[in-house]
Chains A and B, each alone.
Chain A
Amino acid sequence: MSGKLLLMGNEAIAYGAIDAGVSFVSGYPGTPSTEALETVARLKPPGVRVEWSVNEKAALETAAGAAYAGARALVTMKQVGLNVASDPLMSLNYVGVKGGLVILSADDPGPISSQTEQDTRRFALFARLPVLDPSSPEEAYEMARAAFELSERFRAPVLLRPTTRVCHACAAVVRTEPVPLVQPSGFVKGGEWVIFPRLSFEAKKRLAAREPELIDAQAAFNSIDETIGGTPVKIGIACGGIGAAYAREAALNLGLRCRILRIGAPNPFPESLAAEFIDGLERVLAVEELDPVIEDGLRPLMNGVPLHGKRDGSLPSAGELSAAFVENALMATGCVGSKPPLSLNDASHRPRDNGEPPAPPIRPPVLCAGCPHRASFYAVKRAAKSRKAIFCGDIGCYTLGNAPPLDMVDTCLCMGAGVTIAQGLRFADPDSYCFAFIGDSTFFHSGMTGVLNAVYNRSDIIIVVLDNRTTGMTGRQPHPGTGESALGEPAPAANIETILRALGVESVRRANPFDIEEAIETTHEAMDETGVRAIIFEAPCIAVAKLGIPMSVDAARCAGCQVCVKALGCPALSFATSPYQSGRIVARVDESMCTGCSLCSQICPTECIQPAGGTKEEGGS
């Protein structure tokens, strides 16, 4: 147990839960939360049940059931997953739990990999629940452990909300003595597990009444101290989460000894501690990622002392923070003397000034070389060419189908919304074919209800299930269709066609998107019908598929028409100068990237792209 482990924040949370005696872990993958559940699944602690759930609502509800019977349970998700789980959450706060229930909801400032930049701390305020906000992987371990105690003491679910630079940062974490696995004591019947208006009325009074006690219980997570060294100044920095790390570093860089208010548990807001912090200060800067939660908590207590933060624009209202942002804010608000701020375009700290550097490559995320979604999008694009069509997308790798040259995602809102938005569009724009693309994991997550809605309401849409047999974007997690459990054990494999038919979709076609003629023909057939019809494009994600022989361009035969490059946008395809004729451009396949999907070969007018002679290398690290 002793010794330091280099752990990512999400791994630290998993270890924290295990060392707190967790026995039930459920969740749905989502960046930046995914590795927490994966770590428990990898470590396979004896007696611990680990489940990838169909969606976050299912994850929270199953964990609630386990906690009703006394198990300690961890639920993992990303911030938008909490929206899906908000229905049970907003009642579970009233009903409460017996065993400790901790909800990891990882926030994504930026956002780097999300639809929204929402702040889980706001949800905690909304639900009147405790929320812990770690500033480092070490603290994430401590808080994950402590959250279970807090949850049991108050019979309340406790939120744990790290942000990306805690989740995906590594540090040395020292594990402390674990408590033994908490054996569930069993479900005890009683009125308290049934939510009724009367119970809610009483529970809401309790939620309010417990707040002073909750503030005391969370005192260890909130503190006042000073930064080390430097000139003493009457400046205070109030900070939470990773903001605390940036605040300390900024003070260190500027040589300031200033007062720090660290808020690791912002709900309920520790007002008397905050008042003590403000007392005697000339200025306060609030440093926190996402929403100005601490800043808003401080405002009514300021008593005339200027407060800077996101509301007055001293710090950006969106995006990630850094120590440099805090330094700039301290200078801009007159807290300290000025020092020119740095920016990425600033030449002053280039080792030698050699004029403007060449513009760096434009590199948005793209579908991988060999991705079956590219083939599916291309097939539908060809089939729908010259007809009026709207392409509703959804959440997953295939959202990247919006990029040129595919340009096949006209809408994208949230998990499962493509299927339902298509129905509304079809009503209000009746001249258009309405396609709804949805991945397999998203189909199980929240696509099925939308399909039933379409059938029941006699909509007229084409559902295109992109079945790549995994949860791709978050790094290949199993799901109900893969036949594998979170622990890698065999599980029943749900059949998407059977489900579609059971939901009432009478026209269901299956096709291999890499057989491009067949895929186009299948799409034509579906378009010629009316009502709710579905196409399932089946081809595994390249991360789970067996790779084929890479393609190679016969430069002598290549006409330089650029059809392959311009139609597909495959990262393995580019142009090169012909070795046979100077100045002539020919296609080039990067054989180290090519998976041999053969899509380019099938669409090449001169048939000059063929499998290369060699075989694919074995992967290394």
Chain B
Amino acid sequence: MNCLLCGVGGQGTVLASRLIAQCALDCGAFARTSETIGMAQRGGSVVSHVRWRGGSISLPSPLIPLGGADVLIGFEPGEAVRCLPYLKRDGAAVVSVNGVTSAVASLSGAQPSADVYVEYLRKTLPRLILLDGISIAREAGSEKTLNMALLGAASSLLGFSAESMLDALRARLSPRLIEINRRALELGAAIAGAQPSIPKEDSI
């Protein structure tokens, strides 16, 4: 399995990718991640790669090739569009509809609105879960739980149970943060569950 997470620095992609890798490890698979850490975190585009598979042969490289991602988790619709070439033809995407305007775009007024990206994703991807991630995160208790809302929504696509996600969460976060993050996970999973089931086959 290959899962690509993309967003804007500060949205919590690193923790999310670690949790996915931890879940995979807990399930007995071999996992690798690669993350964007450093200068790009200051409001730049960030991408995390997570790859895992069972069996004895380890994965050689931590980077997902173009056209290689089974699941794309988009923390921001414009970033999801940027990373679409990584998605397999029959891959699925989970995307938060809330846009993050870049300061540069504000100056020039050049950036399309989030709706433009969302619309493109909607007509391009047969397997797409869209969610109002910020509202869900707010409902859970903090906008900073956006990453958990998205993970919750993606959990069934990733093949992880809610419990194994929670276990991974407990191993990585301080106890006082568990509750709001758990709520965000569950709310995200519920939203995804309520969406029309994703067709497995599509006439492409």
Q: Choose among B38, B65, B78, B124 the residue that contacts A352 (Cβ–Cβ < 8 A).
A: B124
Nearest CB to that of B41 among chain A residues? A365
- Residues of A contacting B88 in the complex (Cβ-Cβ under 8 angstroms): 349, 351
* Also in contact, A351 and B124, with CB within 8 A (given A365-B39, A565-B107, A620-B141): yes
Q: Give the interface centre of B38, B81, B104, B105 by most chain A CB atoms within 10 Å.
A: B38
CB distance from A226 to the nearest CB of B (A): 14
B63 touches A361 (CB 8 A): no
A363 touches B32 (CB 8 A): no
User: Which residues of chain B come closer than 8 Å to A366, judged between CB atoms?
Assistant: 42-44, 102-104
Stretch at the interface among B112-120, B156-164, B189-197: B112-120
Per the CB 8 Å criterion, the residue count for chain B at the interface is 82
CB of B27 closer than 8 Å to a CB of A:
no
Residue B133, interface by CB 8 Å: no
Give A324's nearest chain B residue, CB to CB: B65
Q: In chain B, residues 69-88, which have Cβ atoms closer than 8 Å to a Cβ of chain A?
A: 78-79, 81-82, 84-85, 87-88
Q: Which one, B38, B104, B106, B177, contacts A620 given CB within 8 A?
A: B177
CB nearest to A474 among chain B residues: B38
Q: Is the CB of B37 within 8 A of A168?
A: yes
CB-CB nearest in chain B for A31: B38
Verify if A165 is at the interface (C-beta below 8 Å from B): yes
Residue of A nearest to B76 (CB): A361
| A621 engages B12 (CB within 8 Å) | yes
Contact bitstring A28-53, B, C-beta under 8 A = 1, else 0 = 00011000000000000000000000
The distance in angstroms between the C-alpha atoms of A618 and B61, with both chains bound, is 38
Contacts of B100 in A (CB 8 A): 361
Bound-state Cα–Cα, A366 to B44, Å: 7
Q: Are B38 and A112 in contact (CB under 8 A)?
A: yes
Interface of A: prevailing SS: loop
Interface size (A, Cβ < 8 Å)? 68
8 Å CB contact of B81 from A4, A172, A324, A360? A360
Contact of A113 among B38, B63, B90, B177 (CB under 8 A): B38
Chain B residue numbers with a CB within 8 Å of A323 are 60-61, 63, 65
Residues of A within 8 A of B (CB): 4, 6, 31-32, 112-113, 136, 165, 168-172, 228, 242, 245-246, 248-249, 252-253, 322-324, 342-346, 349-352, 354, 357-368, 397, 400, 403-405, 473-474, 565-566, 569-571, 573-575, 590, 592, 617-621
What is the interface of chain B, defined by CB distance below 8 A to chain A? 8-9, 12, 15, 17-18, 21-22, 25, 30-45, 57, 59-63, 65-67, 78-79, 81-82, 84-85, 87-91, 100-107, 109-112, 116-117, 120, 123-127, 134, 137, 140-145, 147-148, 173, 177, 180-181, 184, 202, 204
Q: Which 9 A-B pairs have the closest CB atoms?
A: A620-B142, A113-B38, A620-B144, A360-B82, A349-B67, A31-B38, A245-B61, A248-B60, A365-B42
